[in-house]
Amino acid sequence: MHEKIATIEDVARHAGVSIATVSRALHKPDVVSQTTREKVQAAIATTGYTANVMARNLRLNRSGMILLLVPDIGNPFFSAILSGIEQGASKAGYNVLIGDTQNDPDREATYAAYLRSNQADAMILLNGRLPAPLANSPANATPPVVIACERIPGCGLPTVIIDNEQAAFEATSHLINHGHRKIANVAGPGNNILTIDRTAGYRRALSEHGIELDPKLTFVGDYSIDAGIAAGRSLLADAKTRPTGLFCASDGMAIGVIVAAKELGLRVPQDVSVFGFDDIHLAAAYDPPLTTVRQPRRRLGEQAIALLLDRLDPKTPTKTGKTDPVIVPTELIIRQSTGPCPQG
């Protein structure tokens, strides 16, 4: 015996509405009344109907897959972003394929080929650069692509980011407003756009408060805890040149700086203040809890998938030329790793 598979016609008959109304209730619920939606949902539950996604994708000549390129899937920073993207994609009937590129251009190019072979309909980039197959193509000739987290200079594709320069300016200004005049910058890799923007904000804060920039107070790391430990050991070892405050371009490096400070017998924040960036989960649980810049990571993901779905909508007019990036606001989270500048 074979159980009959429920069809959309069965749902329409049980709900007492047309097949077109059932389709609208499933795919465009905002244009259907709540009473009708409830009837359709009750009929779906009664009949056991499930949408044939594969058939729909074949009919629409699409794969139903969105490709997401991430530089390091093991980095906890990306978890909330991925969650926001996946939830939005799922609601729209798409699956998400995550490509862990490990910042390898060859791996990026391999994943990008999925678009050319119709194995994916669109792509979101979290790695800060266009893969080789797309880099030399006109923006209006590529499949739908959205940039998130790291802006790509000169790229006209839709972009969702925070204002890294302004956030770094506000973080450094917080230390200055607490009396710190000797402030170090624990930066990321020199060629990274996040490093460029956050360092610019740090320098602007010093300049606007009349503090001369000291190049010896900049340490170049890689956003990791190990890099922060190395920075702390280098910057804090000598009491004569030691800064009283440190602005770190990531929470990982800020935590590493605190580890090094404790090794040297320094108290945080009584002897030295440490400011992080990102507000990862560990930031609030560390000792002391970390003052940091909160990136609304889930909202970044939600905005990115919304932009991409807009481009995938056949009713959306094709746009050419550069578009202004979507700027998601940040927030300073003041905890116990920063305080007044120590006297003397």
Tell me the average pLDDT across 48-58: 54
In-domain check, residue 58: no
Same domain, 287 and 193: yes
Tokens of 264: 């040297």
**Is residue 325 in a domain?**
no
**pLDDT by residue (tens digit) across 151-176?**
988 888 899 999 999 999 999 999 99
Residue 57 lies in a domain: no
| Residue 323 domain-assigned (yes or no) | no
In this structure, is residue 331 part of a structural domain?
no
The CATH number for 39's domain is 1.10.260.40
Let me know if residue 343 belongs to a domain.
Answer: no
Give the range among 59-63, 105-109, 250-254, 301-305 with minimum mean pLDDT.
Answer: 59-63
- Same structural domain, 138 and 186: no
Range of the domain at 40: 8-51
Residue-wise pLDDT tens digits, 215-248? 999 999 999 999 999 999 999 999 999 999 999 9
Q: Binning pLDDT at 50, 70 and 90, where does residue 138 land?
A: low
Q: How far apart are CA 151 and CA 58, in angstroms?
A: 34
The Cα 162–Cα 165 span in angstroms is: 9
Domain count within the chain:
3
Strands lying side by side in the sheet with 95-100: 95-100, 65-70, 122-125, 145-148, 159-161, 326-327
Which residue(s) pair with 210 in the sheet? none
Query: 95 with 115, same domain?
Result: yes
Strongest mean pLDDT among 2-11, 43-52, 208-217:
208-217
Would you say the pTM of this structure is higher than 0.95? no
Same-domain check for residues 79 and 154 = yes
Where helices occur in the chain by DSSP H, the ranges are 8-15, 19-27, 34-47, 53-60, 79-91, 105-116, 132-135, 164-177, 193-208, 225-236, 251-263, 281-285, 297-312
Average pLDDT in the 20-29 region?
A: 77
Quick one: 156 and 179 in the same domain? no
Q: Are 172 and 266 in the same domain?
A: yes
Q: Are residues 174 and 277 in the same domain?
A: yes
